[in-house]
Amino acid sequence: MSEEPQQPQQSQSSDASVETKPQHHQQPQKKDGGSEKSASKSASITSLKESIINVYDTQYKKLLIIPAAVIIAAVVILLLSYSSTGSFFKKDISLSGGVSISAITGFSDDIALEAELAQQFPGFDISVRKLTQLGSSIGIVVEAGMQSDSDIESLSGFLSSRLGIARDDFTVQKIGASLGESFFRQLINGLLAAFVFMALAVFVYFKIIAGRWVWLPGLFVVWTAVVDGLCTLAIVSLTGMHLSAAGLAAFLMLIGYSVDTDILLTMRALKGSELKVSERIRSAVRTGVMMTLTGLFAVMAGYFFAESETIKQIMFILSVGLVFDLVHTWITNAGLLRWYLEKRGMA
């Protein structure tokens, strides 16, 4: 008799324990909600990546419009520069001849001084830049396309009165027009010779690897190097930079950067027939883009931390050229190469 009343109590306690169980599972439900959000975000990123890859694989012919538009814009810029100035780009005195006047001074407003000189000497191409040391301005360099001693004396007198510096404290360097023009022709001939030998090396290399002459893939490599330099030169012209001998040498370095990734792409696409051409190209993209970005970050660091204007100009040209190389190698060359392989049944 005494045990029967205890039975309902046991059932009540068991019911209470059943009722309290959902309360213990409320916190994990919050965690599941957070994981669902992160999973949804990860899924959206994966979907976007797959969409980009799908467009790159299936719409590669339409993507060729992008580099074509870039090339057309570059040609227009260079033609406009030639029609207005008679040259595709501005040259500094090392290539065109002229005078360079430098002085140690606390004056650092190079932009205002250049504007004043342009008004005072309207018939000459004059540029002004700062001399820096450890990030601080320590002087001024004025370069002008002047040849006659009277013009140089007038420029020195104006700078002396404007900066408050005696003429004897100026460092004057004069380069004759004929010498500068001769130096410029030699550099251009050197660049052309280097480009021709590069093209021959590419064709011979493909001949050795493939066992036969592979003309179109080799032409794609050469074309990419050409348009990389063309588009970079258009940016140099657009910024009004006075290109120096070191700047022209930077274009020679750019050829090497461009050909490096293009040969990587071409060899990955031509070899490895056990994979589809899209997979071969994607494999080259992963390696080549990392190579280009590594070089790009390095030269950009050189541009921002270098104090020499010559080094800055070299790094600027290489930075711009590497950006264009990403477009022309992985869209232009990759698209044309895949088109070529599909036509030959090698996809």
Answer yes or no: is 4 within a domain.
no
Structural domain count, the chain: 2
pLDDT in tens, 190-231: 889 988 998 999 889 888 877 777 888 899 999 999 999 999
CATH number at 162 reads: 3.30.70
CATH number at 216 reads: 1.20.1640.10
Asked if 139 and 102 count as a contact pair (C-beta separation under 8 A), the reply is yes
Q: Are residues 258 and 328 in the same domain?
A: yes
pTM across the whole model: 0.79
Q: Are residues 183 and 313 in the same domain?
A: yes
Q: Are residues 247 and 193 in the same domain?
A: yes
Answer yes or no: is 132 within a domain.
yes
Phi and psi, residue 90, nearest 5° = -85, 140
Provide mean pLDDT across the span 8-35.
48
% the chain with pLDDT above 90? 26
pLDDT at 2 over 70: no
At residue 273, the pLDDT reads 64
Q: Are residues 189 and 284 in the same domain?
A: yes
What is the enclosing helix (H) or strand (E) of 95? helix 93-96
Q: Are residues 186 and 168 in the same domain?
A: no
Asked if 300 and 315 count as a contact pair (C-beta separation under 8 A), the reply is yes
pLDDT in tens, 26-55: 444 444 556 666 666 677 777 777 787 778
Answer yes or no: is 145 within a domain.
yes
d(CA 96, CA 276): 53
pLDDT category, 5, cuts 50, 70, 90? very low
At residue 150, the pLDDT reads 86
Q: Which of 146, 175, 204 marks a domain boundary? A: 175
Q: Are residues 77 and 225 in the same domain?
A: yes
Answer yes or no: is 33 within a domain.
no
pLDDT in tens, 221-237: 999 999 999 999 999 99
Q: Which of 132, 152, 175 marks a domain boundary? A: 175
Answer yes or no: is 313 within a domain.
yes
At residue 159, the pLDDT reads 87
Answer yes or no: is 1 within a domain.
no
Domain range for 182 is 61-88+178-343
pLDDT in tens, 113-171: 888 888 888 878 888 888 877 767 788 888 888 888 888 888 888 888 888 888 888 88
DSSP string for 38-54: HHHHHHHHHHHHHHHHH
Q: Are residues 161 and 182 in the same domain?
A: no
Q: Are residues 328 and 266 in the same domain?
A: yes
Q: Are residues 239 and 223 in the same domain?
A: yes
Q: Are residues 108 and 80 in the same domain?
A: no
- Residue among 217, 311, 232, 225 at smallest CA distance from 269: 217
Q: Are residues 220 and 248 in the same domain?
A: yes
Answer yes or no: is 23 within a domain.
no
Provide mean pLDDT across the span 255-259.
88
Phi-psi region of 91 (alpha: psi -120 to 50; beta: other; left: phi over 0): beta
Answer yes or no: is 40 within a domain.
no
Helix axes 277-305, 245-270, angle to 10 degrees: 160
% the chain with pLDDT above 70? 86
pLDDT at 253 over 70: yes
Q: Which of 175, 205, 237 marks a domain boundary? A: 175
Q: Are residues 262 and 322 in the same domain?
A: yes
Q: What b/e string do you get for 102-139 counting C-beta neighbours within 10 Å, with b at 16 or more?
A: bbebebbebeebeeebeeebeebbbbbbbbbeeeeeeb
